[in-house]
Amino acid sequence: MIEPTRDHYQDIRLFTARGSWIKLILLLVVLVSLPLLLPGYRVFTLNYMAVFVIVGLGMNVLVGYTGQVSLGHAGFLAIGAYTMVLLMTRLAVPFPLALVMAGFVSAFFGFLLGLPALRLAGPYLAIATLGFGLAVTQIIAHSALFGGHMGLVVPDATVGPFPLSGDVSKYYVIVGITFVLALGVRNLSVTRVGRAFRAISDSEIAAATMGVDVAYYKTLSFAVSAALTGVAGGLLALMTGFISPGVFTFTLSLMFLAMVVFGGLGSITGAVLGSIVMGYLNLEMDAFQELPVLGPALEGFSERFMSTVGLPNFGWVVTGMLIVFTILIEPRGLYGLWIRALDTTKRSKSTDADLSRSGPGAD
């Protein structure tokens, strides 16, 4: 990712290659025109996937950059969603401000949780976040303030004078925010902070030797990750119009992890792609039945050997298997496959290029 030949100012520049501007404008045109081309119910799917992309960006900062695992990001999603809704209903805070607050409150909880767990090497953060995710849903489910098991209805939101009604207007808000956050995370990854993150993920001890305050940067990455997930939680509440503790489960946290692992740890493009695929999978759990040949075959298998009708929970099997096979075959996920494909095509053109790639700056 970081090429040793570039200097600092080239690194932090937003658009690295000359073609970047054109690609970016093309992407914007596609994003703006998508809801106009697709049928209405598909826009809901797009919104859902955009929310997943924000969580994926957050998970990428944590897992991809500093090599820590969180099993409780559904908890941060819940904190973001409930913070925003409660601020809007109880204190009549306008939607944009409530959304920003959702990010901050989430980051604060991330900071509190990360502080003890991240001082220690080893699996402590994973264990602590496992408890955190389950504790958050328990507290929400048993408190009258949070609406208990019954959940809360999200009030109508407005941005300035514009009311956000209907999926299309929400689409522009959600995808706009997603786009800005993606650029922000991309920029973060090439600054001093981003380099510190990656140094830690390569080797904590080496990073500490080079003067990186490991505990500080690990906690920071966790807080940034929680903030992004909190904002995603607020947007999820906005798009669904209703939140309840049943949404924010342990399996959802695992799904979030699956997104970045499948997409490619440490790569923003990978995280975005992985989140889009998994977000779709999560929403359309029974889409397997509609596959041309495989669908009926799977259903037949299901009736014959699993003694059930249809394919209940089959999406989770696929998600789990995707993680297992990604780790087995290519731990860097889709991004890793892409890099490998590039390498193979380059190698067939000229073997000299290999020499420059195999230096310490490779990967």
Binding site for other proteins (CB under 8 A): 63, 67, 69, 71, 113, 116-117, 119-124, 126-128, 130-132, 134-135, 138-139, 142, 205, 250-251, 254-255, 257-258, 261, 265, 302, 306-308, 311-324, 326-331
* Residues contacting 312, CB < 8 A, separation 6+: none
Q: How far is the CB of 319 from other proteins (least distance, A)?
A: 6
SS3 146: coil
Q: Are 167 and 43 in contact (CB under 8 A)?
A: yes
* Residues contacting 226, CB < 8 A, separation 6+: 58, 73, 76, 106, 107, 109, 110, 111
Give residue 361's identity as a one-letter amino acid code: G
CA distances from 269 to 44, 56, 110, 240, 334 (A): 22, 10, 25, 26, 9
Q: How far is the CB of 12 from other proteins (least distance, A)?
A: 27
Distance separating alpha carbons of residues 272 and 266, to the nearest angstrom:
11
Distance separating alpha carbons of residues 105 and 231, to the nearest angstrom:
10
Q: Which is nearer to other proteins, 108 or 316 (CB)?
A: 316
Q: Are 57 and 268 in contact (CB under 8 A)?
A: yes
- Closest residue by Cα to residue 231 from 97, 321, 36, 38: 97
Q: How far is the CB of 184 from other proteins (least distance, A)?
A: 25
Q: Which is nearer to other proteins, 99 or 311 (CB)?
A: 311
Point out which residues pair with 127 in neighbouring strands.
none
Alpha helix positions (H), 60-153: 66, 73-90, 95-118, 124-142
Q: Are 232 and 63 in contact (CB under 8 A)?
A: no
Q: Which is nearer to other proteins, 134 or 168 (CB)?
A: 134
Q: Which is nearer to other proteins, 26 or 121 (CB)?
A: 121
Q: How far is the CB of 220 from other proteins (least distance, A)?
A: 18
CA distances from 94 to 240, 244, 282 (A): 18, 22, 30
Q: Are 281 and 315 in contact (CB under 8 A)?
A: yes
Q: How far is the CB of 305 from other proteins (least distance, A)?
A: 9
Q: Which is nearer to other proteins, 307 or 351 (CB)?
A: 307
Q: How far is the CB of 267 from other proteins (least distance, A)?
A: 15
Q: Which is nearer to other proteins, 131 or 361 (CB)?
A: 131
Point out which residues pair with 53 in neighbouring strands.
none
Q: How far is the CB of 154 from other proteins (least distance, A)?
A: 25
Q: Are 259 and 56 in contact (CB under 8 A)?
A: yes
Q: How far is the CB of 297 from other proteins (least distance, A)?
A: 15
Q: Which is nearer to other proteins, 180 or 329 (CB)?
A: 329
Q: Which is nearer to other proteins, 172 or 250 (CB)?
A: 250
Q: Which is nearer to other proteins, 180 or 210 (CB)?
A: 210
Q: How far is the CB of 121 from other proteins (least distance, A)?
A: 6
Distance separating alpha carbons of residues 315 and 226, to the nearest angstrom:
26
Q: Which is nearer to other proteins, 14 or 205 (CB)?
A: 205
The torsion angles phi and psi of 120, rounded to 5 degrees, stand at -105, 140
CA atoms within 13 A on the CB side of 262: 23
Q: How far is the CB of 258 from other proteins (least distance, A)?
A: 7
